[in-house]
Structure 1
Amino acid sequence: MAKFVVTPSSEEQRAAWTGGTIPEVERVRPGLWSVPVPIPINPLRYVLVYVLECDDGVAVVDAGWNTDEAYDALVAGLAVAGYAITDVKAVLVTHIHPDHYGLAGRVREASGAWIGLHPADAGLVRERYDDDAIGSLVARERALLVRCGVPAATLDELAGASMMIRHMVSMAKPDRLIEDGDRLDLPGWDLRALWTPGHSPGHLCFTSPSRKLLFSGDHVLARITPIVAVHPQSGPNPLADYLGALAAVRDLDVEEVLPAHEYRFLELAGRVDHVMAHHAERLAEIEQVLGVSGGVSCWEVATRLTWSRPWESIPPFMRRAANNETLAHLVWLEARGRARREQGEPDLWVAPLSG
């Protein structure tokens, strides 16, 4: 696949990303700030929290992980912009992953801000983060991994792999549900919500037509592609959802994309086209595996694909993500008659004319 490189709109952010550091707080333009909040023990290193100046305080897009280091960085970043944590009036959460949602409850406790989330993600909060409910989620994940053919020796480790980061979230039910197309009541802003499912069922982007900005969360990033996976809380065909949501934002009239990771950039349509081509290439690679090795489990398919490092060196948590992302591509192929599933423990995948 031909490489496409976006134009960074912040050279300082790009240099920090490529240099392995955390960028400085930046004034993106009048009334808008970018505050990097560190993510512990994670190759992404930070989430970019955007601070929107309003007539009565500020709103933030995303919040960061629930750690003291992250909270202190958010408070310090607000201070650079001339605000205190008590000035936060709203937390617009793009999705419920810990690096975006984790600090929302703590910010609300300190400021009285309202938390907004899409209904599809709001409905997942309790099972994902409540101590009394998490057991059922782990059990459902384990059952899915059995169907995928994960080796018994690693099954329990992979099923519970996300438990180690649950403490990074202060569980907080949203105060407001944000639907697709909603216009947010933020004085001084014409912000509109766009439902962009795939990375999570309720992922939201926010656009400002007058400023020609897209706050893209994890939906569209400058260099990497977000994980789109089948798991117990995903939709039945998340890759179809994701590709449809990419097409929905491709032709927006925006001049700058403000993602939650890496750095800000300019070419939305070009980046969307590149991400779509990446998934087309991955689908073709999976079809090739099925063509020469019919009757293979999802796990076996995943081990035969091209990843950024050798399969043996991928840590357990990321192996689970790789398996579930492979499953999302298999499900997409199945829905279009380009792969067939023979159900069992494990399910076996074949090319449509095999067997």
Structure 2
Amino acid sequence: MAQARDHGGGVRSIEVPIPDNPLGHTLVYVVDTDRGPVLIDTGWDDPRSWTTLTDGLTACGTSVSEIHGIVITHHHPDHHGLSGAVREASGAWIAMHAADISVVRRTRSTRPETWLGYMAAKLTAAGAPEEHVAPLRTSGPRRLPGFSPALPDREIVPGELLDLPGRRLRAIWTPGHTPGHVCLHLEEAHPSQLPGHGRLFSGDHLLPEISPHIGLYEDPDDVTTADPLGDFLDSLERVARLGPAEVLPAHQYAFTDAPSRVRELLDHHEHRLTGLQSLLTTPLTPWQLAERMEWNRPWPDIPYSSRNIAVAEAEAHLRRLVKEGRAESVPGSDPVTYVAV
């Protein structure tokens, strides 16, 4: 049975499952407008997820054919995966921030083998051992999830109200988890009169119990050195200043007191940066640093794909330490190592 919940004020949510993922599900929000319901995110492209979404829409008193538009918080497949199927069934428009639209365009034009080669090179440069990198080089053609995402037809402009007749939904650019992640501020009185300023659809930016993965903005053609963790921390401050009465995230559950949650996350990342700096008393590669970081399980127990994510997170923290003048790369090291300053 689809799990649908009424949040009041013409907003409902559907728990759309994510196959084989500890997060369990994506919360897809259904927002009533004067031209029909609009979805915020859509869920993973999987038959069971599609059935859950369509059954959930029925439980909400509507249907997929009645969807007027789709607003995507960010391009990841557990949020954008079913957008194409919904558009095909309804004719709905799809809106996304320009930075993530660029990621979608690049993904659609990149062969999986090219991406695997790029990942192999990145992991080698990060100091990964050959036995970890080898499977990426030797694997045959395969279908990777999220490699045929729907191309959005509308661009979300930060700071502007979205075209949702009868609603006031403003886009807040919150890069970090992805370069084009947006939160969506519903500038309307809370239906239960909770104190604060409206409600915030926070995507993966602000979650009640976990910090979103902050890795690198992967772009084989981009030679600039982005600072995703710095972007994320700055974006958290921006969200705290909004002071929403309630946060409606894409995972877990709705919660209040966004400023306190933001402070917890800022403190968490500062504690982590300080801890990593203390590990860099001797030069370490990003891979070696990831091996020594605290995770939810010992490093030998972390699955293969999750190790790739862990290394990306280590690199994001290293970039922040370097930018803050707390660490530096060791000249001439190959693969590159970093040491505390």
Q: What is the TM-score with the length of structure 2 in the denominator?
A: 0.91
Matched residues in 1 for 2:113 and 2:232: separation?
A: 28
Q: Which residue of 2 aligns with 1:183?
A: 161
Q: Which residue of 2 aligns with 1:300?
A: 288
Q: Which residue of 2 aligns with 1:203?
A: 181
The answer to whether the aligner puts 1:226 opposite 2:216 as a matched pair is no
Q: How does 1:240-259 map to 2 (within 5 A)?
A: 240-259=230-249
Q: Which residue of 1 aligns with 2:3?
A: 24
Deviation at 1:179, TM superposition (A): 1.6
C-alpha contact 2:112 2:142 (8 A) present in aligned 1: no
Tell me: CA distance 1:160–1:322, structure 2 relative to 1, closer, same or farther (3 Å): farther
Q: Which residue of 1 aligns with 2:124?
A: 146
Matched residues in 1 for 2:2 and 2:145: separation?
A: 25
The alignment's C-alpha RMSD in Å is 2.0
Tell me: CA distance 1:23–1:227, structure 2 relative to 1, closer, same or farther (3 Å): farther
Q: Which residue of 1 aligns with 2:251?
A: 261
Deviation at 1:138, TM superposition (A): 2.7
C-alpha contact 1:66 1:169 (8 A) present in aligned 2: no
Matched residues in 2 for 1:49 and 1:139: separation?
A: 34
Give the gaps of 5 or more residues in structure 1. 1-21
Task: Give 3-state SS (helix, strand or coil) of 2:32's partner.
Answer: strand
Tell me: CA distance 1:184–1:324, structure 2 relative to 1, closer, same or farther (3 Å): same
Matched residues in 1 for 2:106 and 2:274: separation?
A: 35
Residue identity matched to 1:65: W
Task: Give 3-state SS (helix, strand or coil) of 1:251's partner.
Answer: helix
Identical positions, percent = 39
Q: Which residue of 1 aligns with 2:192?
A: none
Deviation at 1:164, TM superposition (A): 7.6
| Alpha-carbon displacement from aligned partner over 1:1-55 (angstroms, at most 9, x marks no partner) | xxxxxxxxxxxxxxxxxxxxx9821011031101110110000110000000111
Deviation at 1:165, TM superposition (A): 7.6
Matched residues in 1 for 2:235 and 2:32: separation?
A: 28
Residue identity matched to 1:346: P
Matched residues in 2 for 1:261 and 1:174: separation?
A: 23
C-alpha contact 2:100 2:181 (8 A) present in aligned 1: yes
Matched residues in 1 for 2:185 and 2:115: separation?
A: 33
Task: Give 3-state SS (helix, strand or coil) of 1:25's partner.
Answer: strand
Q: Which residue of 1 aligns with 2:320?
A: 332
C-alpha contact 1:184 1:192 (8 A) present in aligned 2: yes
Q: Which residue of 1 aligns with 2:194?
A: none
Q: What is the TM-score with the length of structure 1 in the denominator?
A: 0.87
Give the gaps of 5 or more residues in structure 2. 190-197
The answer to whether the aligner puts 1:346 opposite 2:338 as a matched pair is no
Q: How does 1:70-219 map to 2 (within 5 A)?
A: 70-130=49-109, 132-157=110-135, 166-167=144-145, 170-211=148-189, 212-219=198-205
Deviation at 1:278, TM superposition (A): 0.7
Task: Give 3-state SS (helix, strand or coil) of 2:45's partner.
Answer: coil
The answer to whether the aligner puts 1:35 opposite 2:21 as a matched pair is no
Q: How does 1:281-296 map to 2 (within 5 A)?
A: 281-291=271-281, 294-296=282-284
User: Of the candidates 23, 30, 37, which is equivalent to residue 44 of structure 1?
Assistant: 23
| Alpha-carbon displacement from aligned partner over 1:171-213 (angstroms, at most 9, x marks no partner) | 2111001121121111121000011000000001100122310
